[in-house]
Amino acid sequence: MNQCTLAPGTYRFIVPVDRAGARLDLFLAGALEDAGRGLVKRLIDLGGVHVDGRRVRRCSLPVAAGQRVELFVDGLPLEPFQLDQAMILYRDRYLLALDKPAGVATQPTPARYQGTVYAALQQFLSGTGQVSLGMVQRLDRDTSGVMIFSIHPRAHKGLTAAFTGHHVAKHYLALVSGQLPGAEGEFRSELARRRSTNRMVSVEHGGKPAITRYRVLTSADDASLVDVEIPTGRSHQIRVHFAEAGHPLLGDPAYGGPGVIGGMTVSRQMLHACRLSLAHPVTGERLEITAPLPADFTVVLHRLGIAV
């Protein structure tokens, strides 16, 4: 079983007196109409079950009367993402950079701990006896490309300072709707999260400053391929800035991007972190780490007649 039969969402229960003492997996299997014990065990192991607000990954935990049990389902495959050697773009004793696939969350979510990039990297490093992991960079679940981590205590502080001090050059490739008015440009705004939609928007004051620079590489009738550099690293900033300019990313319905173009379904936002440039936080060596375009991005480009 790799797909969950439960609809995505949050399922909440209060343990009644007559179910006190039951195993957590048996309690949930009895409370859910469309889930057997096998599925419940998988969801608990993924980290999608919380008891009184705390993640619990022990199926045999006895529940108590009045406890609040929550199950978070994200609709993604149940098989956890695992890191393999082919995804490693750079590694030394201090740093590791990988090519993150689209569709994988960077860090734990309410629905899962297992299967995130962070958990997969912890597991990968544990096999080498190296488990000191620092994460300062994040990519959206459906964004692919370069991510870099510190894997040694001597690198943690320096890598964090490089990102927070805006000393890392971060370049993305994005496929945006329509044709941009000039060959290059820049967006500047303050970004804040709108609580009613949980999406980021530009605000006049009270947000965090965000700068997005772009250069058009090539265009078709319905879309443009752009190289994007972000001196800042605000949540969703590339997606927001292009959407607010009237050119949302292809495959990004959350910000108004088309899900179908040229008769083809675009299943995720066309955004790829293609290059990171920075000074090594320990040795000072200049690093430039690149990730090739993934197959799904290339397919869309070919359908649009865009050559790279």
Q: DSSP code of 112?
A: B
Contact in structure between 299 and 306 (CB atoms under 8 Å): no
Amino acid at 131: V
Helices assigned H by DSSP within the chain: 24-31, 37-46, 117-126, 153-164, 237-244, 295-304
Coil, strand or helix at 234: coil
Q: Tell me how far apart the alpha carbons of residues 72 and 10 are, in angstroms, rounded to a whole number.
A: 5
Name the residue with tokens 């971060």. 170
Q: Which of 25, 45, 140, 252 is catalytic?
A: 140
Task: Determine how β-strand 271-279 pairs with β-strand 144-150.
Answer: parallel
Instruction: Answer whether 180's CB lies under 8 Å from 227's CB.
Output: no
Q: Rounded to 5 degrees, what are φ and ψ at 275?
A: -155, 135
Alpha-carbon distance of 141 to 273, in angstroms, equals 12
For residues 172 and 215, is the Cβ–Cβ distance under 8 A? no
Q: Rounded to a whole number, what is the distance in angstroms from the first to the last CA of the chain?
A: 39
52 annotated active-site: no
- Give catalytic residue positions: 140
